[in-house]
Amino acid sequence: PVSKLRPKKPLVGNVDDSVLSVCQMMSEKRHDACLIVGEDGGLAGIVSDTDIVRRVVAKHVDHGDSIDGIMTPKPTCVSMSDSAVDALGTMVENHFRHLPVLDEKGSVVGLLDIAKCLYEAITKLEKMKQKGGKGGADVDAALASLAGVGGAQAAALSALLGPLLAQVAGGGDGAVPTLRKVLSGRKAVKVGPGTNIRDTAIEMAEARQAALVVEDDALVGIFTFKDVMNRAVSKEVPLELTAVSSLMTPSPDSVLPDMDVIEALQTMHDNKFLNLPVVEEDGTVLGLVDVMTLI
């Protein structure tokens, strides 16, 4: 059941809260999403840091406007007793980062985060690997314990993350894609350090990815959806007058494009990164991967 995935306690706001107050609440509590309830206490919508960038900052929406104008209304939900595999499948197929969890009465009790689910899967598989597990049967056993279920459902989860996870457990045929392959044909968001926050956010919104700050062809910083919300909107900085260089994370870690997807997920898991810049050995900035691009 979904309860085995240990959904985190959700942050909850009201439909008439302002965009600014919801952002400040998310920043203060270090959440990247907030569930919005209506006057009747029922779930009305969900809003994430990405929505703040795409529907508020990039669209010049006033931060005093109420949140119900920019939230995603009536989000897909699961209940605590639903199948964990189905829940994960729903997230992967629809590219949902977050999935609200309801109890029997329809009240909001949790929020599933795909990154957290994936990282826990990797952690479990790494533990197995240390025990010297090899081959497919062990992977299936790990997947079963991961989903807290037996046979058939483990098979479903295995189909979902199987190609990735078989590699982690050492059972695969070496065909895990490299980051170079994942990034081929994808355009990265590259901005100069002097670009203002509003313009950076507009580019991020269009490409649906975080911005790489590049100066003289070298990577000097990264600026993510969470940063727009936490460091700009919540702090009420003037978006047109603030250079991205003043709010970015400077000198971010990067990885080489020949790293494979599994190693990238493990690196992100170990360092608690949500985004990973990919840079050639000669310093050429290739792009950026996040959890959603890797699955």
Tell me: pLDDT of 172 over 50.
Answer: no
43-48/72-73 β-pairing: antiparallel
Q: Is the pLDDT of residue 133 over 80?
A: no
At 116 the pLDDT is 83
| pLDDT surpasses 70 at 146 | no
Note the pLDDT of residue 110.
95
- pLDDT band at residue 262, thresholds of 50, 70 and 90? confident
Are 111 and 7 in contact by the 8 Å Cβ rule? The answer is: yes
CA–CA distance, 113 with 261 (Å, rounded to integer): 19
> Tens of pLDDT along 225-252?
999 999 999 999 999 999 999 999 999 9
Query: Looking at domain 179-294, what is its CATH homologous superfamily?
Result: CBS-domain (3.10.580.10)
Structure tokens at 150: 């037996």
What is the overall mean pLDDT for the chain? Answer: 87
pLDDT at 156 over 60: no
Q: Could you tell me the two tokens for 35?
A: 């569930």
First to last CA, the chain: 22
pLDDT of 197 strictly over 80: yes
pLDDT digits (tens, 9 = 90+) for 26-43: 999 999 999 999 998 899
* Lowest pLDDT segment from 62-71, 170-179, 264-273: 170-179
Structure tokens belonging to residue 251: 């000198």
CATH 3.10.580.10 in the chain: give the residue spans: 179-294
Contacts of 39 by beta carbon, 8 Å cutoff, 6+ apart: 14, 15
Residue 287 falls in which region: left (phi positive, over 0), alpha (psi -120 to 50) or beta: left
Q: Which pTM does this prediction carry?
A: 0.86
